[in-house]
Structure 1
């Protein structure tokens, strides 16, 4: 008689745990449809060609304002600005560049007004700009001794470009006189994204009002550069180092998130695969941080994902400013950020939390980097998958062995279920006694599943955030860090999208075959009251894979497709060539003959069940 297709308790617990995490994760990071089409790409190319300038982004928190209707106040403000800066200097820009990045610094404000990546392009082949067309502003606000409030964004700085060895040095000075000035000093090294940035004043101890706060303000609107604005926005986040190397983040999904932190070392305005980071040797004593979500739904028109803002008070030393800082405008790439170990910038990458992040950071990231150094990127994923599955094969063996033992015990379990069908407590007692005599642990199938969870989650974070996969193609997938598309739908399916990805379909088929094989094991536990419908779970898992992974990195779907194929192969080998059910049955019978000593836990459980049974009988009387 053909065996019923059911799952045992061990597999049930394992799958419930794994898919419980999946459901929670996908609920909090809802997948979204593909965003930009060919028409949008053409429109942006026209915009780039014509150099159309957008409205400058407004700071999230307003600066001190002058009443424009008050002619006296307005005249005084203009007089103060004119005395402090070069109002007669043209609003020109000075360029700092090396082989990897090009920065343009404006005379007005002395700030970076354009940051261009020289080795990267967007998904539609446009240049990658982290700063452009007023999407970012850096300014220092201060008060003068005559109680006027000024912002460096309104001052004109005098540029002076020079060389220091192989480094380019740009000095920007807003002068009161030749010996009284506020200076921004930029020093760019060859082939590096990190630029040393010094803020200092000279001779202003009689100009700056030390009793009033000096405040650093930095705002940025993160530019969109991926096919789906919601997918990119999921990995766009403000991350910061504070309170003695603690790494914290503002919410990536809330409409508005604010925090005030102490002892801030660096701030990262992450824009998925690129970041703008401000680090300081003189830690900010406090910093008010804000992240505002600009994406409400999938749209073809949205050009920005989030708006970030930081407000940090600066301390005067002897009435003067002196801060050594660093600007980083570049890729969110572990290999690049690792070069700045003294600043710890690599921690701004979302590797994941706890042991999961450690595995991602120290195992998968360097291992995949090694494989992709001599293999095509898609082949490197397949090779990494094979090695991971082989490393986990002992765990798979343990799980399958547990299922095989449960299968052998099925006739006896069925007999107990029939014998004590009207006494659930007694049935449970006798079942546990049978397990103990046979030397079978019903939880042994769950433990292997738990051991694989760190691997599962680490890989779940690795593929969408690995810079090594960005814009790397494989077969029909144009970008392994984003979803693949084999067909565009003329409509949008909720939770699925307006496109069809093939790798998730293949992964769903593979997981369905795998679950069909595992449900062929003995599933006597399902017949107990309260157990879930395993046939429903068997169909639910592939459907979840199909829907939720349709909008995720194709590299992740490729991994699960290959991983499930390998697992199926390993299980077939174990079943047909390694395990012998007759030998397992004989071993179980031998185990029954041997006296079994209860451990403390088993004894406690038995006593509790006996006590409950006795109370039940007393209650009936």
Structure 2
């Protein structure tokens, strides 16, 4: 390897390249093949049969009943008693004909969310609630609590008795609804068992369906005791492939997409829940999520089961209020990257959001604030790079002088470093420190719901890519469109690379520096790589990186012209220090 290579630059570029390749593989290599190797632990084989998840399609005309508050509008069907439509009032879905978020956002529509309760006994009698007709028997509005309660009742088809579905909804800005099931005089069934069966086909709501699908998956919380507030872990099923799983000790299960989620929250911990997640490769649905769980029944006692259903945004502050770990389903990244996003970038973003400026301007201001916070590290890195280039001629002389003695050469070089007051390893450390910050932004901008649907200049949605030209063909890694912000960022990175490289030549004081051609290839490859890799990422990410590189260019000139003077740098020469 050439002795004059800038090792810190090579290490930094290599790490960034590795991160980009790894991240792109995780997010774009979506595998739609089924993986059905998991064995079911239930004794009842019907859990693995598709017919158990089928619902009646040829239904008679039925009536619908409304429940509504400030944020939700719910339509409940008399046939099956299930929620037929659920509208989020404060949000819009992406409309391709308008090229922005302009149509009503339904989390439930066109029978994409179906659930039923099944009762069966040893005599072969079977009741499926999706075939029963429910009629409203009570609609109460508690003026004190503001809670509305709708009771839907269906008759027992095998004799006397009835079954109630009880829906409750808060008056104001509550995104969760209560749902209870109870029986009355179901003695004609004798001793029976029951289970709940749910099928949820998640609707695509965003501009980029494939990108949205990569953020859509099942999350769940489990516990080892009966305390719902004492959850032990939050786990998830694969977002890339079909997966079957039996989950034990369930606190809650969430069907999460990029910005919204449905969360199933039982009042008591469920001992065993079977879950299946399956991808759709095309169409208006992203995934099919199926859940099934047995409900314990006591002989000669009426059936009663209660839970809550959350249909709403993935808003961190909103989810934290439930104090049940729901905020952990927001994909801020893994490990310490999540901490960087939640306690560094999000804090800065929310502080600047109070200015009520355009969100594009907020991102620019956020970039400036982050750069100012990190400026001491950046300055040290730039200063080290400049000083290393200034003393390179001295290092070359030491290489020639101790060509046959590696140990003496290393000692002499380390003495040179000590006398000029630099630590060559500090450059590597600062580069490694900035890698997590670089990567965490890939997870930050596509998950912030406040940016969803927000425009800036020509950008329609800061959480999706901006497109100034649609290509008639697909380019691997790049895509089938041209993002102007990505082009601007790559151009700014190219200019900064050129300036840095010219600075290297100026500082090196060596016209025949043979390291330049080798470094040129590596340095100038980075803008091309970034152009390919982030063309389909959130435009907010490109805006942040573009602004960051503009600041880098200004910072480079400021340090070079005003804070570093090569005539004032002490160098080691002829066993003494000269100025």
- TM-score bracket for this pair, using the shorter chain length: 0.7 to 0.9
Q: What's the offset of the Cα at 1:289?
A: 2.0
Mind listing any 5+ residue stretches in structure 2 that lack a counterpart? Answer: 31-46, 96-101, 224-230
CA distance in 2, matches of 1:207, 1:351: 50
**Structure 2 residue 97 is the aligned partner of structure 1 residue 126:** no
**Structure 2 residue 558 is the aligned partner of structure 1 residue 552:** no
Give the equivalent residue in structure 1 for 2:337: 356
Give the equivalent residue in structure 2 for 1:62: 50
Give the equivalent residue in structure 1 for 2:226: none
Give the equivalent residue in structure 1 for 2:484: 502
Q: 1:270 aligns with which of 256, 266, 283?
A: 256
* Cα pair 1:31 1:552 within 8 Å, conserved: no
Give the equivalent residue in structure 1 for 2:558: 573
CA distance in 1, matches of 2:402, 2:293: 71
Q: 1:345 aligns with which of 299, 303, 326?
A: 326
**Structure 2 residue 239 is the aligned partner of structure 1 residue 241:** no
Q: What's the offset of the Cα at 1:150?
A: 3.2
CA distance in 1, matches of 2:122, 2:347: 55
What are the residue-to-residue correspondences of 1:374-393 with 2, within 5 Å? Answer: 374-393=356-375
Give the equivalent residue in structure 1 for 2:380: 398
CA distance in 2, matches of 1:329, 1:163: 21
* Cα pair 2:420 2:569 within 8 Å, conserved: no
Give the equivalent residue in structure 2 for 1:92: 63
CA distance in 1, matches of 2:407, 2:191: 80
* Cα pair 1:504 1:550 within 8 Å, conserved: yes
CA distance in 2, matches of 1:433, 1:287: 66
CA distance in 1, matches of 2:576, 2:216: 59
CA distance in 1, matches of 2:289, 2:418: 60
Q: What's the offset of the Cα at 1:328?
A: 1.3
**Structure 2 residue 28 is the aligned partner of structure 1 residue 30:** yes
Give the equivalent residue in structure 2 for 1:480: 462
Aligned residues: 532
Give the equivalent residue in structure 1 for 2:276: 290
Deviates more, 1:264-273 or 1:310-319: 310-319
CA distance in 1, matches of 2:131, 2:405: 83
SS at match of 2:426: coil
**Structure 2 residue 140 is the aligned partner of structure 1 residue 162:** yes
Q: What's the offset of the Cα at 1:554?
A: 0.7
For the structure 1 residues 323 and 453, does the alpha-carbon distance in structure 2 shift closer, same or farther, using more than 3 Å as the test?
Answer: farther
CA distance in 2, matches of 1:27, 1:396: 30
What are the residue-to-residue correspondences of 1:112-191 with 2, within 5 Å? Answer: 112-124=83-95, 125-160=102-137, 161-165=139-143, 166-176=146-156, 180-190=161-171, 191=173
Give the equivalent residue in structure 1 for 2:437: 455
* Cα pair 1:9 1:523 within 8 Å, conserved: no
For the structure 1 residues 195 and 63, does the alpha-carbon distance in structure 2 shift closer, same or farther, using more than 3 Å as the test?
Answer: same
CA distance in 1, matches of 2:29, 2:412: 47
SS at match of 1:551: coil
* Cα pair 2:160 2:188 within 8 Å, conserved: no
SS at match of 1:109: coil
For the structure 1 residues 266 and 208, does the alpha-carbon distance in structure 2 shift closer, same or farther, using more than 3 Å as the test?
Answer: farther
CA distance in 2, matches of 1:287, 1:530: 62
Q: What's the offset of the Cα at 1:8?
A: 1.7
* Cα pair 1:145 1:207 within 8 Å, conserved: no
For the structure 1 residues 303 and 207, does the alpha-carbon distance in structure 2 shift closer, same or farther, using more than 3 Å as the test?
Answer: same
SS at match of 1:123: strand
SS at match of 2:235: strand
Q: What's the offset of the Cα at 1:206?
A: 6.8
**Structure 2 residue 19 is the aligned partner of structure 1 residue 21:** yes
SS at match of 2:424: coil
* Cα pair 2:218 2:277 within 8 Å, conserved: yes
How does the TM-score come out when normalised to structure 1?
0.78
Q: What's the offset of the Cα at 1:510?
A: 1.4
CA distance in 2, matches of 1:215, 1:580: 77
Give the equivalent residue in structure 2 for 1:537: 522
SS at match of 2:493: helix
CA distance in 2, matches of 1:577, 1:380: 29
Q: What's the offset of the Cα at 1:501?
A: 0.8
**Structure 2 residue 336 is the aligned partner of structure 1 residue 336:** no
Determine which structure has greater relative contact order: mean sequence separation of CA pairs < 8 Å that are 6+ residues apart, divided by chain length: 1
Give the equivalent residue in structure 1 for 2:238: 251
* Cα pair 1:31 1:548 within 8 Å, conserved: no
* Cα pair 2:217 2:257 within 8 Å, conserved: yes
* Cα pair 2:53 2:197 within 8 Å, conserved: no
CA distance in 1, matches of 2:60, 2:136: 10
CA distance in 1, matches of 2:74, 2:575: 74
For the structure 1 residues 459 and 65, does the alpha-carbon distance in structure 2 shift closer, same or farther, using more than 3 Å as the test?
Answer: closer
For the structure 1 residues 279 and 532, does the alpha-carbon distance in structure 2 shift closer, same or farther, using more than 3 Å as the test?
Answer: farther
* Cα pair 2:53 2:198 within 8 Å, conserved: no
Superposition RMSD in Å: 3.4
CA distance in 1, matches of 2:573, 2:238: 57
Cα distance per residue 1:407-446 (max 9 Å; x no partner): 1321122224445667777765654564456553222112
For the structure 1 residues 371 and 31, does the alpha-carbon distance in structure 2 shift closer, same or farther, using more than 3 Å as the test?
Answer: farther
SS at match of 2:289: strand
Cα distance per residue 1:440-487 (max 9 Å; x no partner): 322211211222233223322111111111111101101111111112
Cα distance per residue 1:56-89 (max 9 Å; x no partner): xxx98534599xxxxxxxxxxx9xxxxxxxxx99
Q: What's the offset of the Cα at 1:558?
A: 0.2
